[in-house]
Amino acid sequence: MTFNFRDTSLVPIWEKIQKGERLSMADGLALYATPDLISLGKMANFAQQQKSGDAVYFVLNQKIEHTNICVLSCKFCDFAVKKGDASAYEMTTDEIVSKLTPEITEVHITGGMPADWPWERYLDIVRTIHSRYPATDVKAFTAIEIDFFHKKFRMPVEEVLRQLKDAGLKTMPGGGAEVFSERVRRRLFNQKIGAKGWFGVHKAAHRMGIPTNSTLLYGHIETLEERLDHMVQLREAQDETGGFLTFIPLAFQPGDTGIKPRNQFTSAIDDLKTIAVSRLMLDNFPHIKAYWVMLTEEVASVALNFGADDMDGTVGEERIAHDAGAISPMKLAKDQIIRIIKDAGKIPVERDVYYNPLKVHSDRVIGKIPYLNSLPFYHDFEKGPFRILPIVPRRMGILAADNQLAAGLYSLMDYYRNEASLDLLDWCIATRDQVKSVMLFSNHGWADLDGRIIGVTDETATSIQLLRLLLANKYHVKAEFRRLHAGVNDYTGYDAVLLIGDQALYHNRHGLEGYEIVYDLAAEWYEWKKMPFVFAVWAVAKNAGPEMRSALEAAIRESLANTEGRYRAIGELHGRTLRLHPEYVEEYLEGFNYTLGDREKEAMREFRKLAAEVNPGVVI
Ligand code: V47
């Protein structure tokens, strides 16, 4: 892909981006320095498309700032007050719960840190929300608050998190990171914990299966180098844990902080550059959030074409930014968010706290399995009238059951479950013998797995049934399955772990710590049945209409034809983030059969028959 760069110094950076190479601090500075804003936006939009296709996520959420009384006195904060202040407030659990309604899917709780609240009061808030609104996920307490609880209530950070998790906490917000620079910390928030403490809490959370968000407070006294250093530190931490969901650049609202004149907000250009640069620098972050509360609706709308794929949500009511003079509204209606996202040419995807899609507010949406093995279908896919939603197999099945997609490359089990509303097309993802990316990492041989606990990736719909079948009918053992947490690389505490897709491919190549034996499920099937295994099939909604169907068929056919013989180039672009050599990716892709022929259909029928016998429709 080529753009007409006005600033040709961007060309080498663009080449790196296209090859999936990581950008350096110097690249980041060059991106900030460029006057060619439009090219910067196009590059970031390209990176965004690689990650999230045409999707922009939002959530029906409610912010709760339970109190503004705070023992800290950070210079940039206009929200916090001292106890006894005329504007001080403290909410009871009942007052907090009264702000919620059943349609809210995420509640975001963060606030001041008063000296006199007992630990039980915080637990009570989380527990009560969780029990009264079980479908509402609780995202609560920044690393600063967790550290405060740790010190005040004399409990290790892990114990604080464990008790909150038991009470119902699902994820943590990204606040309190500010800027990791020690220079800025000493000048603006010297009572806060700093980078080491902030990362300590987030990494502890990730190890415990609590994904978290991250922020950067920009537009005050920090330098561009300090912003970029902040991003690089986050990128390194993400390499280590994989537990960050999104990055949120927070535009500083000067208010009466005295740090900047009252109305000197960050410029729209700086906001857009920061969104774009963060998308390009944070190559291992799934999402970048355009937080409209601090950016304004207008800038957030444009940001959706500058690398952001996350609009936060309806918010409900917000004080931290508004006390510091934010000019955005206090809340946005769902319809308004949907309109903004549609106007940006994207798919409004209503999500849960983990970014699982709940509802797709657009038609002509095609589900894309975001794994390397499906790339021959999508690499050269001319979108035409379609919009692409990358979505893991099991979640795609859930959307199909609700008739939310026009078409998709469905996991085989999901195709069967939704057969009545789908038409099968002529393509699939089938193995010849081995697959290399549906792997059981184990500490026990097959026969010894009886009664053991197997952690199973949250993403699978078909491989889990294949594993069940192999255990029951090939090896005559029965194990207990537990779903692994989406998005957090915690594989400890199981006797074996089933992974699929790129995660499995990566660990097949690089090993999975703690597990010595590796089984390839397609190879197991082949050895047993002497048949290929069909993991996924293309299907189109029956109600999509013949024109749509033929447009889709033409696009798939063309992409397959264009990519044939070019698997090494695909490996160059997409293998790097997985630390896989292009030749390895080439060999991997050559192991698949993408056409649904008679042999594949026969294998499908055999699997269907056996799977129905072993586990009549059980889904865990
Ligand atoms: O940590 C304080 C910032 C943060 C000001 O995780 C200010 O999804 C601008 O973290 N101007 C809290 N910012 C908000 C936050 C957040 C917001 C939205 C979504 C998520 C998420 C997290 O607000 C604080 C601080 O960095 N802040 N004062 C100010 N005057």
What distance in angstroms lies between residue 139's CA and the mean position of ligand 1's atoms?
Answer: 14
* Tens digits of residue pLDDT in 238-270: 999 999 999 999 999 988 888 888 888 999 999
Three-state helix/strand/coil letters over 468-521: HHHHHHHCCCCCEEEECCCCCCCCCCCCEEEEEHHHHHHHHHHCCCCCCEEEEH
Ligand 1 binding pocket mutation candidate from 217, 220, 274 (most atoms within 8 A of CB): 217
pLDDT reported for residue 487 = 63
Closest CA relative to residue 537, chosen from 451, 620, 449, 418: 418
Sequence ranges of the domains in the chain: 8-349, 362-430+533-613, 438-529
In this structure, which residue's CA is closest to atom 5 in ligand 1?
A: 77
pLDDT at 37 exceeding the cut of 90: yes
Percent of the chain with pLDDT over 90: 85
- Ligand 1, atom 21, lies closest to the CA of 173
Q: Which of 28-42, 97-111, 250-264, 275-289 has the lowest mean pLDDT?
A: 250-264
540, 552 Cβ separation under 8 angstroms: yes
Helices (H) then strands (E): counts for the chain: 25, 22
In this predicted structure, the answer to whether residue 618 has a pLDDT above a threshold of 60 is: no
User: Does the C-beta of 141 come closer than 6 Å to ligand 1?
Assistant: no
What is the token pair recorded at 183?
A: 């220079």
Q: Is 217 in the pocket of ligand 1 (CB under 6 A)?
A: yes
Strand ranges for 36-104 from DSSP E: 55-59, 61-64
Radius of gyration over alpha carbons of the chain, in Å?
25
Classify domain 362-430+533-613 at the CATH topology level: D-Maltodextrin-Binding Protein; domain 2 (3.40.190)
* Least trusted range by pLDDT, from 53-57, 89-93, 111-115, 375-379: 375-379
Closest atom of ligand 1 to 212 CA is 6
- Show the tokens assigned to 536: 């996924």
> Which atom of ligand 1 approaches the CA of 215 most closely?
10
Residue whose CB lies within 8 A of the most ligand 1 atoms, among 68, 141, 215, for a mutation test: 215
Q: Is the pLDDT of residue 381 over 90?
A: no
Among 308, 270, 273, 268, which residue's Cα sits nearest to residue 291?
308
Can you state the percent helix, strand and coil of the chain, rounding each to 5? 45, 20, 40
Confidence tier at 556 by pLDDT (50, 70, 90):
very high
The pLDDT of residue 620 is 38
Residue 192: per-residue pLDDT = 85
In the three-class reduction of DSSP (H, G, I as helix; E, B as strand; rest coil), residue 615 is classed as coil
pLDDT of residue 257: 81
Q: How far is the CA of 320 from the centre of ligand 1 (A)?
A: 7
Predicted local confidence at residue 413, as pLDDT: 95
What pLDDT is stored for residue 501 in this prediction?
Answer: 96
Give the distance, in angstroms, between the CA of residue 126 and the centroid of all CA atoms in the same chain: 23
* pLDDT, mean over the chain: 94
Phi (first) and psi of residue 183, to 5 degrees: -55, -50
Q: Give residues with Cβ within 8 angstroms of 52, minimum separation 6.
A: 286, 287, 309, 390
Instruction: Kindly give the distance from the C-alpha atom of residue 135 to the centroid of ligand 1, in angstroms, as a whole number.
Output: 25
Q: For residues 324-337, give the mean pLDDT.
A: 85
Same fold, 362-430+533-613 and 438-529: yes
- What's the residue count for the chain? 620
CA of 42 to the centre of ligand 1 (A): 27
The average pLDDT across 83-110 equals 95
What's the average model confidence in pLDDT over 529-554?
95
Would the CB of 212 count as within 6 Å of ligand 1?
no
The protein residue with its alpha carbon nearest to ligand 1, atom 28, reads 77
The answer to whether the CB of 188 is under 6 A from ligand 1 is no
303 pLDDT higher than 90:
yes
Q: Residue written as tokens 């729209």? A: 268
CATH 2.60.40.10 fits 438-529, yes or no: no
Residue 278 Cα to ligand 1 midpoint, Å, equals: 17
Q: How far is the CA of 246 from the centre of ligand 1 (A)?
A: 14
CATH code that applies to domain 8-349: 3.20.20.70
Q: Is 174's C-beta closer than 6 angstroms to any atom of ligand 1?
A: yes
Q: Is the CB of 68 under 6 A from ligand 1?
A: no
The structure tokens listed for 182 are 């020690």
> Is any atom of ligand 1 closer than 6 Å to the C-beta of 210?
no
Could you identify the atom of ligand 1 that is nearest to the CA of residue 174?
6
| Cβ partners under 8 Å of residue 145, min gap 6 | 110, 111, 113, 176
How confident is the model over 129-182, as pLDDT tens digits?
Answer: 999 999 999 999 999 999 999 999 999 999 999 999 999 999 999 999 999 999
Q: Is the pLDDT of residue 416 over 70?
A: yes
Whether 76 lines ligand 1, by a CB cut-off of 6 Å, is: yes
According to DSSP, the residues that pair with 462 across neighbouring strands are none
**Is the pLDDT confidence value at 561 over 50?**
yes
CA of 294, closest atom in ligand 1: 9
Cα 394 to ligand 1 centre (Å): 33
pTM score of the predicted model = 0.94
Residue 585 pLDDT > 90: yes
What's residue 619's pLDDT?
46
Q: Is the CB of 215 under 6 A from ligand 1?
A: yes
Asked whether 173 lines ligand 1 (CB < 6 A), one says yes
Mean pLDDT of 470-492: 88
